[in-house]
Structure 1
Amino acid sequence: MFMGEQLKGFICVFSAALLWGISGPIAKYMFNMNVDPFELVQIRLILSFLLIFSFLAVFSKKLLRLEREDYLYVFILGIIGVAVVQFTYLYTISATNVATAVFLEYLAPIFVLTYGVLRGQEVLSRINGTAIILAAAGGYLIVKGNLQGGLAVSTEGLISGLTAASSFAFYTVYTKRGLAKYSPLTIMCWSYAVGAVCWIIYQNPLVSFSHYHGQVWLIIIYYVVLATVVPYGLFFKGLSYLTPLKTGLTANLEPVIAAASAYLMLGEKLTVMQLLGCASILLAVTVIQLRFKNSLKQQFNGPND
């Protein structure tokens, strides 16, 4: 049963990373069609909330219930875990480039591990340390090998990027706490609602919605459903089975899938350095799967490293 849940968790997070990775070239295609990134985030959060809320209202109203004592929890998650992550990620793109922003955000597992060690929830073992180093090095190689920009870090971009990473780490850890009590859909629904309200400050949503027509809207709907609602649902479901560290490291497969998708869909070439980076991240994910075997041993032989 234990190993079965671990496997389910890995499959869920891998599927989320797969959908996120595929969505990278699609987002780039939308930007080439003059879709504004900030407006896309606003539309994304509003439509995601409405879609999840409508689904639950029709098929499972009980999942819309949120106890009064958890209002603050959802508010904090929506502000820091949704609105702040979206803003800092986009600001990092504007201050650096897309590749650098992705690399900085996916340093999140380092923050998750640090928090876990300080709280006594994770052990700074050889396996954890090796996986973190391999994932970070792999992300660096993928960015450094990018022919369209490479690594570009300004002081503002670095601060913003590390804020995005720490916010995403918070999102992962804080969501884990809520999953002990609520369905992933419940947490997604109300945290997205808070995030959507925050983005209304950016501009009137009617302005964003009125800018796009026809084919662009079909792509936006795809992005909302298969790059937001479904993958985040899978990510949360996987998080309910895995530790935040394993979830974060497995999600690091997104840059690998994004690079492969860009090659297949947009014809972007992969350099030797990027291939090495992909291999490094794949190895990192393989390394943390060794913890499954160790976890099973603990059930029979007691704790080990």
Structure 2
Amino acid sequence: MKSPRHLGLMMIISGATLWGLSGPMIQWLFNYTELSSTDFLVIRLLLAGMFILCSLLFTKQNIFEIWKYPRHWIQLLIFAIVGMLGAQYAFIETVHISNAVTATLFQFLGPVLITIYIAIQHKKLPSFMQVIAISAALTGTYFLITNGSIENIVLSKQAILFGILTAVGFAFYTLHPASLIKQWGTSIIVGWGMLLGGISLFLYNQEFHFRYVANTLTMSTFSMLILVIISGTLSFLLYIGSLKYLSATETSILSSIEPLVAAIVSIIWLNESFGAYQLLGGIFIIVAVVFLTMPEKSSNRTHVRKEETLSA
């Protein structure tokens, strides 16, 4: 039999790989359908949220207890609309405007923003390792946007804007629900966050109609849509499961294969091309995140919460 550690390694690598695959799969959907970012996000959030909550009900967990406490469900609503929906929308829109790899790399700037925020909040200068990581992340972002030449910016203003919003959004939904997750558990908070975010976007987007979406999908694009939802949900479940067998540092470092998987799949499958400096920028950002997982346990816990919510 495989040891628990081997099982944990298989789970985190599988989960990170699935999340890395989901970005190019979403990009393929946008290439071959007329789905908008909001159309896709309504479907994804509603189905994934219902799946997680129904799974919890099946295991006889009380998913409705949180609604007895006004202070908690108000925080939950803020998390669902501003955090979950905001970050997911920015990520999907970045994929739509640019590509999956760019969106994934901007997402990985989240821990860097969290480190800066915590340093300001505690009025404490970052450690030497954190300064190196922040510098590496900023350098990587510069290369990603400019491909080494400030005169020839390779990303549009919209892509840069939504990319930055992606990083800010993921940092927010990592920090904001910390007390809720501690009280109620990750699965309940993320499940309700996705369902409520999907309902909010559905009510806001008056142009969304399930019949229209169904008519625009072919058998192949519908199959891909289902695969994207399943892969994202499985990625979340595998990541959560791996935490039983591995340390926070190990899971954080191993999850850094996400952008690498996204890059390889995008180049081979979608024929995406990236400049040498853009690829170098991606490496800088990944290295920065790895550095941030090493020096302090607080950074590890923060990154873990980020991954739990992303992989849903």
Q: Which amino acid aligns with 1:221?
A: I
Tell me if structure 2 keeps the 8 A contact 1:64–1:186: no
Q: Which amino acid aligns with 2:228?
A: Y
Q: What's the offset of the Cα at 1:162?
A: 3.0
For residues 193 and 183 of structure 2, the distance between their equivalents in structure 1, rounded to whole angstroms, comes to: 15
For residues 199 and 274 of structure 1, the distance between their equivalents in structure 2, rounded to whole angstroms, comes to: 33
The equivalent residue for 2:76 is: 74
Q: Which amino acid aligns with 1:181?
A: Q
The equivalent residue for 2:35 is: 36
The equivalent residue for 1:151 is: 154
The equivalent residue for 2:55 is: 55
**Residue 186 of structure 1 is aligned with which of 185, 188, 203?**
188
For residues 293 and 20 of structure 1, the distance between their equivalents in structure 2, rounded to whole angstroms, comes to: 24
Within 5 A, what are the aligned runs for 1:116-135?
A: 116-120=118-122, 124-135=126-137
Q: What's the offset of the Cα at 1:195?
A: 0.5
Q: TM-score, normalised by structure 1?
A: 0.74
Shift in CA distance, 266/204, structure 1 to aligned 2, threshold 3 Å: closer
The equivalent residue for 1:301 is: none
**Residue 225 of structure 1 is aligned with which of 224, 227, 230?**
230
Tell me if structure 1 keeps the 8 A contact 2:111–2:289: no
Q: Which amino acid aligns with 2:68?
A: R
Q: What's the offset of the Cα at 1:158?
A: 4.7
Within 5 A, what are the aligned runs for 1:1-305?
A: 16-38=15-37, 39-63=39-63, 65-69=65-69, 70-91=72-93, 97-98=98-99, 101-120=103-122, 124-142=126-144, 144-145=146-147, 151-154=154-157, 158-200=160-202, 201-202=204-205, 203-226=208-231, 228-233=232-237, 242=248, 253-269=257-273, 271-291=275-295
Q: What's the offset of the Cα at 1:277?
A: 2.9
For residues 198 and 178 of structure 2, the distance between their equivalents in structure 1, rounded to whole angstroms, comes to: 21
Shift in CA distance, 35/133, structure 1 to aligned 2, threshold 3 Å: farther
Q: What's the offset of the Cα at 1:117?
A: 1.5
Q: Which amino acid aligns with 1:259?
A: A
For residues 254 and 126 of structure 2, the distance between their equivalents in structure 1, rounded to whole angstroms, comes to: 18
Tell me if structure 2 keeps the 8 A contact 1:117–1:124: yes
Q: What's the offset of the Cα at 1:79?
A: 0.5
Which structure 1 segments of 5+ residues have no match?
296-305
Q: What's the offset of the Cα at 1:45?
A: 0.8
Shift in CA distance, 49/283, structure 1 to aligned 2, threshold 3 Å: closer
Q: Which amino acid aligns with 1:66?
A: I
Tell me if structure 1 keeps the 8 A contact 2:256–2:290: no
Worse-superposed segment, 50-59 or 281-290:
281-290
Q: What's the offset of the Cα at 1:47?
A: 1.0
Shift in CA distance, 252/229, structure 1 to aligned 2, threshold 3 Å: same
Q: What's the offset of the Cα at 1:90?
A: 4.5
For residues 85 and 46 of structure 2, the distance between their equivalents in structure 1, rounded to whole angstroms, comes to: 12
Q: How many residues are matched?
A: 281
Q: What's the offset of the Cα at 1:211?
A: 3.0
Shift in CA distance, 282/53, structure 1 to aligned 2, threshold 3 Å: closer
Tell me if structure 2 keeps the 8 A contact 1:178–1:187: yes
Kindly, what percent of the aligned residue pairs are identical?
Answer: 22
Q: TM-score, normalised by structure 2?
A: 0.72
